[in-house]
Amino acid sequence: MAMTMSSMIEMMGDIFKIIRGVLVVIAAIALVVASIGIMNTMLMSVMERTHEIGVMKAIGAKSSDVLSLFLLESSMVSLVGGVAGCGLGWGGAVFLSFLASAASGLEIAAIVKPEVILGGIAVALIVGVLSGFYPARKASKMSPVEAVRYG
């Protein structure tokens, strides 16, 4: 069965659509896993610092101060993770393009757009803030007396 150039191009387009869909699913799973990881880390941080939270509230820290503190912490964790992930992704793309160029003898360049990098960091930051909200709220609602007693 002979293929025409247009049918071959159409088939390649379909293959790329499937690959793009698989990558979207993988990215969504990675975001869910990252969200759960950040939430777990922040919950452990709240549990370990229960006494500290109680003392802060006892000496006058408002619930909003505690909430802001833990939201800032979760956003910093996710920002560092986002920057590291984007850096590793960029490095991996450059490395793979080098390997592909060496194997094929063709010039294959990795194209990494700055808006994609910034978008990745922004998504990481948003995921960090959203997944850190529950632990931060839990910390801000602690009673100072109970926190100092059981911390």
Confidence of residue 151 (pLDDT cuts 50, 70, 90): low
Give the pLDDT confidence score for residue 1 in this predicted structure: 63
At 116 the pLDDT is 93
Asked if pLDDT for residue 47 goes beyond 80, the answer is: yes
| pLDDT tens-place string over residues 98-132 | 999 999 888 889 898 999 999 999 999 999 999 99
Predicted confidence (pLDDT) at residue 74 exceeds the cutoff of 90: yes
pLDDT of residue 146: 87
| Spatial CA neighbour of 70 closest among 49, 95, 96 | 49
Q: Please, what is the average pLDDT of the chain?
A: 92
Q: Please say whether the beta carbons of 15 and 111 come within 8 A.
A: no
Question: Can you give the residue ranges of every domain in the chain?
Answer: 24-150
Average pLDDT over residues 81-109: 92
Give me the DSSP letters along 46-113: HHHTHHHHHHHHHTT--HHHHHHHHHHHHHHHHHHHHHHHHHHHHHHHHHHHHHHHHHHSS-------
